[in-house]
Chain A
Amino acid sequence: MTTEDLNTDDTGASGRPGLRTSPLHERHVALGAKLADFGGWSMPIEYAGGGVVAEHTAVRERVGVFDVSHLGKARVAGPGAADFVNRCFTNDLRRVGPGRAQYTMCLDKSGGVVDDLIQYLVGDDEVFLIPNAANTARVVELLRAAAPEGITVTDEHDRYGVIAVQGTRSDEVLKSLGLPVGHDYMSFVQAEWEGEPVIVCRTGYTGERGYELLPRWASAPRLWDALLTAVQDEGGLPCGLGARDTLRTEMGYPLHGNDLGPDITPVMAGAAWAVGWDKDTFWGKGAVAAQRAAKESRLMRGLVATGRGIPRAHCAVLSGSEVVGEVTSGTFSPTRKQGIALALLDRSVAVGDEVVIDVRGREIPAEVVKPPFVEVSVRED
């Protein structure tokens, strides 16, 4: 293998020039994390003494704590802010009440996905957004350009840290810090920890029961220390973004830039459930409504490798000698111990079909399935 293959960025405490760092950066360095560029941020892929498989398994079987402070934060405020956001993004905020979070998408005119994000309905006059790190500036710019007089859009990227606690033992971890637990899936609670405000959201990207906590930037390190101790007491691990990726892939959750993007619309990505089709308007509505009606576009499916090998993004998918699709995300499933993938496939291919994935010239047989690839417990009371 070449040194380029092994380009893990073992930057020191200062981080790599040009990359932004999380409020927990020094904690990661002290924990021996391998760091890499995620959307312009130097973030941990995995920790010394852990590794992707062990960290993944900790979340599936017990609990893990992740730093996802690179995620964007933005606030839309002013009279009618919720109605304004509802006219921009795909999902219908009227389906949820204050204190609830909702998955939504920001589309361009042609229906391409500028970003997928979580919107938190604080009230009629305030919506808090968590966009992807690399897309935050663009989403904020688009909202500002469209905002009517009186509505402000604030980029609060470095005002909050984001710490995710995910896994069946998440409640025990939060309880040991005196934080609220057990609220409904996709709801959030404003709480306090050691005199500092922290928002506790019942959300995540792993498919396990869990929470995402938003402390203020400056109080994130102390909260991380307390959570990490509690997680370790429960037999869990600090987890990097490598495990986050295998966990989300096992759930079939799309990743922007791979499974969603300018050329992959919500209709293609199987995310039509996150579109408020009855709404009068949202950005890109005309284009995605037409694509939905035409029923011609490729659709996102799951692939399970039945032969030995690991599909990767951009591998061609074949049926006989005909190319019928392309892998958008592929990895090794630590839970199933086999290769899995998300792929955009022609509509002629059905769930249950056998296909072949061209993995760098080797043909790996695979079965077409409907994700998730593992059992789901995320919504359990």
Chain B
Amino acid sequence: MGVLLAASTSIATSTTAGQAALPAFAAVVETHKAMVYSIAWQFLHDRVAADELAQDVFLQLHKNWARMQSPAHLLFWLRKVATHRAIDAARKRKAKAETSLEETDEPTVLERVHDSFLASYLKRMVSSLPEKQRSVIVLRYQEEMELDEIAKVLGMNVRTVKTQISRALELLRGKVSRRLGKESTQ
């Protein structure tokens, strides 16, 4: 990431987001694209929309490139912006179609026989969680972030994050145990 710091310094001294830093920027996009895209996807469940949102996040990063102080700051910034933008986009789409936990469809026959059934089912369950709980679950289990990091990204206190996670896990366990039997939730 020394390249990033060198590039960001050179950008800071130029008036526009310099093209000289594009290789370093491209490396950052390549490194973090899956993270940003997956956060967007967990909220939108639409590949095109998630792709668009992820692109916009990187475009915003390009504009703010000179402000990135370190690789850790950059990662924090990306997670924060991706999560908040995904939440906003999901809110806008909310009116169109919101699936509650109870309304979520039964798994199809094909899903039942598929090995990754539980994974796909869990994904759908996560997508039906309330916004706050979904955010903390995605950041905790997709991004494997610590509680204090999640708290910083979402602007919550650690205790709230903890509570949201345990409530979300409780909901998910309950739902999965009703569908699949208790053995899968132990």
* A and B form one complex: no
